[in-house]
Amino acid sequence: MKLDKTPDAPAPLGQAIEVRDLHKSFGDLEVLKGIDLTVGRGDVVCVIGPSGSGKSTLLRCVNLLAEPTSGTVTVAGTEVTDPDVDIDRVRRRIGMVFQSFNLFPHLTALENLTIAQRRVLRRGKEEAKRIARANLARVGLVDKEQSYPAQLSGGQQQRVAIARALSMDPELMLFDEPTSALDPELVGDVLAVMRSLAQEGMTMLVVTHEMSFAREVADRVVFMDDGVIVEEGTPERVVGDPQHERTRTFLARVL
Ligand code: ADP
Ligand code: MG
């Protein structure tokens, strides 16, 4: 049997995420070339950078959807890259929201929120429903619990996906371009939900091209290019007064 060193309770001290000298290659292609990143508890860190720079791979290495080639990743005091750690138990503590919503099409919004609670957390039916309804209310969709994904707008589907992640009581949330697939008029509602989560103190690592969100909500902005962090700092610094030419070139294209 696998030795399990995963603590059940969150570690009281330390950072939410610590990434040290993280490298990731796919075959000959080195995608992450030594990333160091710390996200404190309750912090919102936005990752920006051109397509192909390794942003998604970084997020996927944090919850081991991608296996790092070398380096360490520590989440809430548990080193997830330690081979003795049960990654499924760590992953449960991390909510992940993708560009594509990945809802079950044959389940209602409510059922999409209860299924993992029941199967993974072994919650009873009524408790799972109660928690699901509370989280649908949190994202402004209390009246949509019986809707199927196809009956919802993209923005509503993404808010269901956020509510689904929240229903698992995550200690931190990873967002990978959560608004990139949405029609422009639907982006605002999703960002508003993310903003309120940030205000509630949720730890969030967010890959986004929404510079106004990064400026208003992020404690820190990280600019990545070609597998490295080129610069990081407050939004005022990185977005408002970038020090590197690569950052300026990127911002000129997205702003
Ligand atoms: P970003 O999210 O910044 O657009 P990604 O992390 O998705 O960048 O990708 C970085 C690079 O890694 C790209 O060149 C991409 O093609 C490559 N890549 C990502 N995932 C895989 C994979 N599973 N297999 C091979 N190459 C991959
Ligand atoms: Mg990506």
What is the ipTM metric for this complex?
A: 0.98
Ligand 1 atom nearest the C-alpha of 177 is 2
Residues having C-beta closer than 5 Å to ion ligand 2: 55-56
Residues 6+ apart with CB under 8 A from 9: none
Q: Which residue's alpha carbon is nearest to atom 1 within ligand 1?
A: 52
Confidence of residue 11 (pLDDT cuts 50, 70, 90): very low
**Looking at residue 70, what is its pLDDT?**
97
Closest alpha carbon to 157 in 96, 101, 98, 107: 101
Distance 106 CA to ligand 2 centre (A): 27
What is the rounded distance in angstroms from the CA atom of residue 240 to the CA atom of residue 236?
5
Distance 161 CA to ligand 1 centre (A): 23
Q: Which residue's alpha carbon is nearest to atom 23 within ligand 1?
A: 26
pLDDT for 9 beyond 70: no
DSSP string computed for the chain:
-------SSPPSSS-SEEEEEEEEEETTEEEEEEEEEEE-TT-EEEEE--TTSSHHHHHHHHTTSS--SEEEEEETTEETTSTTS-HHHHHTTEEEE-SS----TTS-HHHHHHHHHHHTS---HHHHHHHHHHHHHHTT-GGGTT--GGGS-HHHHHHHHHHHHHTT--SEEEEESTTTTS-HHHHHHHHHHHHHHHHTT-EEEEE---HHHHHHH-SEEEEEETTEEEEEE-HIIIIIS--SHHHHHHHHHH-
Note the pLDDT tens digit of each residue in 32-74: 999 999 999 999 999 999 999 999 999 999 999 999 999 999 9
**Looking at residue 7, what is its pLDDT?**
53
**Looking at residue 2, what is its pLDDT?**
44
Q: Which residue's alpha carbon is nearest to atom 25 within ligand 1?
A: 26
Mean pLDDT across the chain: 94
Q: To test ligand 1's pocket by mutation, which of 22, 23, 25, 26 has the most ligand atoms within 8 angstroms of CB?
A: 26
Bridge partners, residue 222, by sequence: 47, 232
Amino acid found at 248: R
Ligand 1 environment, Cβ below 6 A: 26, 29, 31, 49, 51-57
The model's pTM is 0.94
Note the pLDDT tens digit of each residue in 141-164: 999 999 999 999 999 999 999 999
